[in-house]
Amino acid sequence: MADIHEQLCALLDNEGAVYRVVEHAAEGRTELIAQIRGNRIEQSIKSMTLQVRLTRKENIYCLANVPGDCRIDFDGVKKYFNADSVAFAAREKAQALTECVIGAIPPFSFSEQLQVLADPLIRENEEVVFNAGRLDRSIFMKMEDYIRIAKPQMVKIALRG
């Protein structure tokens, strides 16, 4: 099976996306990678895997995507799913679902078990940038192409400041 970076580039090519891959020093922290790439932090899409506990016995997982200058609004995710609780997924589970190390997760899902959410604040940028399945590669692409291809459920899940 192709790695996530290769799958992502193939998907973007097949969908006719306008994008560019940038190689850089390996880094997964949003604040530092934005400096290395030379982009505004709010242009970055930060992707985190969440465990949503719908009931005591039923869990689902989602990929929550927010601008790089924001943090996850767990209450927003909880309300959206009408869930009992929401938390970051365990590291091993997040890496299994995304097939990426933490910090390299792109805002796309290649797993049936991982639904994609994105905060509407990502629409503030014409171009977005994110780690592309590897800590040493990022993709810059048009925000419209991201929404068209990733098809995230747009949900208020970001807190700024």
Q: Quote the pLDDT of residue 147.
A: 97
pLDDT for res 161: 78
pLDDT in tens, 9-56: 999 999 999 999 999 999 989 989 999 999 999 999 999 999 999 999
Residue 2's pLDDT is what? 57
What's the rounded mean pLDDT across residues 121-125? 96
Span 124-148, pLDDT tens digits: 999 999 999 999 999 999 999 999 9
pLDDT digits (tens, 9 = 90+) for 67-116: 999 999 999 999 999 999 999 999 999 999 999 999 999 999 999 999 99
Interatomic CA distance for residues 48 and 38, integer angstroms: 22
The candidate with the shortest Cα–Cα distance to 47, out of 8, 11, 2, 10, is: 8
Sign of the dihedral through C-alpha 12, 158, 97, 44? positive
Residue 161 or residue 22, greater confidence: 22
State the pairing for strand pair 85-88/45-53: antiparallel
pLDDT number for residue 1:
44
